[in-house]
Amino acid sequence: MEEKIILEDENGVAREFDLEVSFSLGEKTYVLLTEGEESDDVFAFFIDEDEDGEILVPVEDEAEFALIEAEYDRIMDEEYEDEDEDEDDDDGEVE
């Protein structure tokens, strides 16, 4: 089951997002959110803290977004490799 996150936009309208992935990169923790399977849009945020606790801050810097994208691609590549290895193990064949 995917984790749901509800955020308010600049007009005060609540929008529901699915947590695609979260990961640490450097000294920040990033979260990538989508608006469901029907949407190809991915929204990148980093976790920061204010007086009320943790908040999500949108990533607006293109260079930072490029780093996030590269890390996401690396994570997904590793995940697919792990799935392929699991399938190979299930075949009963020895490499």
Measured in residues, the chain has a length of 95
Torsion 50-54-57-62 (CA) sign: positive
3-state class of 70 per DSSP?
Answer: helix
- Of residues 27 and 94, which shows the higher confidence score? 27
Q: Which two tokens stand for residue 43?
A: 């929204």
67-77 pLDDT, tens digit per residue, is: 999 999 999 89
25-62 pLDDT, tens digit per residue, is: 999 999 999 988 888 899 999 999 999 999 999 999 99
- C-alpha distances in Å from residue 64, one per residue of 33, 59, 67, 68, 81: 16, 7, 5, 6, 26
3-state class of 65 per DSSP?
Answer: helix
State the pLDDT confidence band at 9, using cuts at 50, 70 and 90. Answer: confident
Say whether pLDDT at 1 is over 60.
no
Q: What is the C-alpha R_g of the chain?
A: 17
3-state class of 2 per DSSP?
Answer: coil
